[in-house]
Structure 1
Amino acid sequence: MKYSALFFAFLLSACDAFTISTAGRAGVARFARMDEPQPPPAPAPKTPPPRAPIALPTVGGKDGQLDVVSRLLKDRILMLGTDVNDEVANVLVAQLLYLAQDDPEKDITLYINSPGGSVSAGMAIYDTMQFVPCDVKTVCFGMAASMGAFLLGAGAKGKRSSLPNARIMIHQPLGGAQGQASDIEIQAKEILYVKELLSTYIADYTDQPLEKIKEDTDRDFFMTPTEALEYGIIDEVIKTKTSHIEMPGMPSLY
């Protein structure tokens, strides 16, 4: 009986020791898992920092410091150097109206380097050019494409010019439609109307037959300034220091 009691006490001690030991191992295991190096978090997607707006140079004058665009405005010189959109159109329309009010007889010069853009915005500029009483001279530098070319040719006749290395391109308006069949039909009619309208105006100021304008604008129609002069979009190719260099001809792809 004495030995049985001792043996039972030994078993209890062993059980207690096993439980503690097991708990200890579990504890060690848990701490070991917590101490293991964790994979680094996925890096946040990098977004490029916003571009700072290009600072316009300033020039001094009796009115203080002016940015160069404002200084050119005082000399009745306007710039279209971006896509044609509503914001650009609103600025140009305001400038045209201001200069026309300031002196309704003195010419305004519009420099154009634009790949084109919105038809409605371009027509707002076009209508204002035809509305103001003073002549609007147009000068192409770089490129006048699409609505940019349309506005280039819309200048006062005899006062439309281009620098020798500019490119001029005309084409039909671009557009798309989605939705119900009736909605697509409405949009298709609108695009066809705009195409007819633009072709009519180009035919008027170039003195080209309307059918020729439609045929040429069916695809992108690129021109050198000399070709644009012959076509009737401009009236003069401005001579520069390199005008004596003979220009290469357009290569053939066939």
Structure 2
Amino acid sequence: MQKRNPLKANILKLETQKNNIPTFLHQSEIYYLVFFFKLMPIGVPKVPFRSSGERDGAWVDVYNRLYRERLLFLGQGVDSEISNQLIGLMIYLSIEDDNKDLYLFINSPGGWVIPGVAIYDTMQFVRPDVHTICMGLAASMGSFILVGGGITKRLAFPHARVMIHQPASSFYEAQAGEFILEAEELLKLRETITRVYGQRTGKSIWVVSEDMERDVFMSATEAQAYGIIDLVAVE
């Protein structure tokens, strides 16, 4: 005995209501939508991708697809997790092809100093040049990573904002002995960051040190004049 299709029966029932005037999608359209949404990715955006030599494609994470084109993204606060991810990607892509440049897009409010310095050092270590592109905001360690891009290869979108300031620490949570050790370490980090800004921007260390005493926000044009970026993208 042939089994009855409940989906088909329900659709036909809906279509015969109201004086035979269709009140729902046609059966073939329903089957198409069910098939489409079964394949449609949910959650993290995904895109279809097929590697060379492969017959069938697959849905892949949009960021994984962009990584294959050597496009990297820092779109959050800097911490150990995102730092390790970017470092791993830069090293892997440099091993895969050490002649093709890397592109790092930055939209970050800043974050932890040590993970940010680790990203900067890796950018200088890998053989391919790293283009840095500021979109939205590059503040604190975000601007430090931005300035670490290849000379003449640092760019910001027209309405992007850049902010520099000195590294901070939670002194109020430390005991007296820890406070002294932390202050000494923070002073060393400040000297390192100030020296890097001076080398990468062409500004004197004294100018950079004075500017870093407070939060200094810059437009893309001002960041270019300061030497943090080399180009402003054309609107």
TM-score, structure 1 as length reference: 0.72
Partner of 2:44: 56
Counterparts of 1:80-95 in structure 2, within 5 Å, are 80-95=74-89
Which residue among 52, 61, 74 is the counterpart of 2:68?
74
Measured in 1, the distance between the counterparts of 2:186 and 2:66 equals 37
1:173-198 residue CA offsets vs partner (Å, 9 max, x unmatched): 01023444332111111111111110
Q: Deviations over 1:81-115 (max 9, x none)?
A: 00000000010011001110010011000000000
Determine helix, strand or coil for the equivalent of 1:174: coil
Partner letter of residue 62 of structure 1? R
Segment of structure 1 superposing worse, 187-196 or 165-174: 187-196
Partners of 1:77 and 1:144 lie apart in 2 by 17
For the pair 1:232 / 2:220, whether they are aligned, the reply is no
Structure 1 vs Structure 2 CA RMSD: 1.2
What is residue 192 of structure 2 aligned with on the other side?
A: 197
Task: Kindly tell me the number of residue pairs found equivalent between the two proteins.
Answer: 187
Deviation at 1:143, TM superposition (A): 0.2
Gapped regions of structure 1 (runs ≥ 5): 1-53, 241-254
CA distance in 2, matches of 1:236, 1:188: 36
Greater C-alpha Rg: 1
Q: Work out the CA distance in 2 between the residues paired with 1:198 and 1:225.
A: 21
Unaligned runs of 5+ in 2: 1-41, 52-57
Separation of aligned partners in 2, 1:61 and 1:172: 43
Which of 105, 111, 114 is the aligned partner of 1:111?
105
Structure 1 position 128 matched with structure 2 position 116? no
Q: What's the secondary structure of 1:65's corresponding residue?
A: strand
- Counterparts of 1:55 and 1:174 in 2: how far apart (Å)? 36
Aligned mates of 1:149, 1:183 — CA distance in 2 = 29
Match of 1:223 in 2: 218
- Cα deviation for residue 56 of structure 1 reads 2.3
CA distance in structure 2 between the aligned counterparts of 1:156 and 1:115, rounded to whole angstroms? 21
Instruction: State the alpha-carbon separation in 2 of the partners of residues 57 and 193 from structure 1.
Output: 42
1:144-201 residue CA offsets vs partner (Å, 9 max, x unmatched): 0000000001000000000001100000001023444332111111111111110000
Distance 1:215 1:186 in 2: 24
Number of the residue aligned with 1:157 = 151
Match of 1:4 in 2: none
SS of the aligned residue for 2:149 comes to: coil
**Aligned-partner SS, 2:106:** strand
Give the drift of 1:66: 1.2
